Amino acid sequence: MKKYIEKTFLLCSIPFLLMYSLDWALESFPLNEPDIVLATLWAPKTGFVSFWVEKFFIAALLPSVVSACVLTVILSCLKRGRNFLLPGLYLFVAINVFDSVYFEYEVPISEYVQLIKSNRVSELKNSAFLQKEFVFPQVVQEPVEKRNLVLIFLESMEKNYGSFIPELTELSKKNLSFAFEGVGGLETFATTGTLNSTIAKVTGVPQLDLFHASYFPQVSSIYKLLGKRNYKNVFIRGTSNRFTYFDQFLKNTGIDVAYDISNFDGAINHSNGFDYVADKKLLSYSKEILDKLSKRNEPFSLSLFTVESHYPNGFYNEDCPDVPVDNSDSARYRAVLKCGSREVAEFVEWIKAQNIYDRTTIVLVGDHLFKGKSLAADDTYGKQRSWYNAFINVDPLKNETNPNRQFTSFDIAPTIIEALGYELDKHRMGLGVSLFSDSSKTIVEKIGLDSMNKELRQLKNTIEYQSLCNRRKSD
């Protein structure tokens, strides 16, 4: 009888584990976006490991064991001399077949295979697309007075959150916010995660290597352009810069001083095994840094990242005055968004009250689209998705700009530079086009999003793209 129970439990537990694990993975990770999944798997994990192990134990392993135990007890009681191993085997096969079909339907396996193959550098070909569209930036006109830059990357912040982010929505209405028919920043291939979207937004170059930290030390960035004009470039983030090799990117991109969670020992929050500095505290630290920077006689840039609206359900801070209306993931995430909106807006208002504001431009951008499913069933969320943007107190000569533009992350780098009063040759940088230029169309305006994605997917094994990884040439 003991051997029967052991065999029955084994036959029952494996399919249950597969079934619960699949449901958990589909709920927790953007498995339909292979570039994010593969890049994350190959990157340093830091605090995320314990976070997801705990989630897996609660959502998959524990219910699998309980379900297997219950079914084993039932089959054992019904046995009474009959062999119930065969029905158990049938169950094993049936659930595994179901899981396989379900997995194939939900997860683009062929895209994973294609992406892994494309990341193996093979015979290089020429890219007519890069030859035509890529530009090394050259500043052709300097502003009369140098402006400071405060650049805020808002985690997973989408334009159509609407009533969930009332203060941010109001900021976008009162200031310059680019959109076309209500659609803001478009997400492309190679700009779907925090790191690759950030690289695109500050360099205009796509990060296509999923398995290595090659972040174009020779390619120009907004920080390198500003650094050559005596700007001090400061970066602050409430998580570890080691995650996804962010520290190597910062080192190569022209940042002078980088702060992360290791600099804020007394203010670390612990949520499900994940360590981070709450956005409110991070913004408070940013005020202190701005105070110090404002005492310099030279211009500066301060870039910072929020984190609490991260997938799968955000990190709800108990200090937040917005209490979730119920215990659902959707309600908690809405509360996270409302708190984040208020905190960022208050930070912007604080900057406006400082002496440096007259010569400081503030840029708010969502890093990418939200990858969780907390709002997927909410009718107000909508199907036309785009990331948030707002340009506050830009160079006075840019105030009459036409905001009706189609654009991607690549267009943000030249737009930031020109928002500060500089003018780029042909208004271009990398694959990006400044949105302050009425005469130059962005790539997505010229060929559409689908065609642009197709071109981006083909760049990895091209002579031109590989040369960007090896040749030094920047302004």
Q: Helix 194-203 and helix 246-253: axis angle, to 10°?
A: 10
Rounded to whole angstroms, what are the CA distances from 115 to 15, 23, 38, 58, 449? 29, 24, 9, 31, 19
Q: What angle do CA 159, 164, 167 make, to 5 degrees?
A: 75
Give the pLDDT band (50/70/90) at residue 474: very low
d(CA 157, CA 347): 17
Give the pLDDT band (50/70/90) at residue 1: low
pLDDT beyond 50 at 127: yes
Of residues 387 and 317, the one with the higher pLDDT is 387
Backbone angles phi, psi at 6, to 5 degrees: -65, -45
Return the sign of the alpha-carbon dihedral for residues 27, 32, 33, 37.
Answer: positive
Q: pLDDT digit string (tens) for 147-193?
A: 999 999 999 999 999 889 999 999 999 999 999 999 999 999 989 88
What residues does 139 pair with on adjacent strands?
424
Question: Is it true that the peptide bond before 312 is cis, omega within 30 degrees of 0?
Answer: yes
Give the mean pLDDT of 203-217. Answer: 73
Give the mean pLDDT of 14-34. Answer: 71
Tally Cβ neighbours within 10 Å of residue 120.
9
What pLDDT does residue 471 have? 45
Q: Which residue, 430, 423, 395, is CA-closest to 149?
A: 395
Q: pLDDT digit string (tens) for 364-374?
A: 999 999 987 76
The CATH number of the domain covering residues in 135-468: 3.40.720.10
d(CA 25, CA 37): 11
Alpha helices in 163-278 (DSSP H): 166-174, 194-203, 222-227, 246-253
Residue with tokens 């595994």: 96
What pLDDT does residue 361 have? 98
Task: State both tokens at 359.
Answer: 């010569």
d(CA 95, CA 309): 35
> In this structure, are residues 420 and 445 in contact, taking their beta carbons and an 8 Å threshold?
no
Give the pLDDT band (50/70/90) at residue 130: very high
d(CA 73, CA 9): 9
Domain boundaries, the chain: 2-118, 135-468
Task: State both tokens at 144.
Answer: 């009369």
What pLDDT does residue 36 have? 66
d(CA 458, CA 208): 10
The SS3 assignment for 276 reads: strand
The SS3 assignment for 346 reads: helix
d(CA 434, CA 441): 9
d(CA 106, CA 100): 10
Indicate the residue type of 135.
Answer: V
> In this structure, are residues 279 and 338 in contact, taking their beta carbons and an 8 Å threshold?
no
Give pairs for 315-324: CB < 8 Å, separation 24+: 315/269, 315/271, 315/274, 315/276, 315/278, 317/269, 317/278, 317/279, 317/280, 319/278, 319/280
Give the pLDDT band (50/70/90) at residue 376: low
> In this structure, are residues 254 and 233 in contact, taking their beta carbons and an 8 Å threshold?
yes
d(CA 27, CA 451): 30
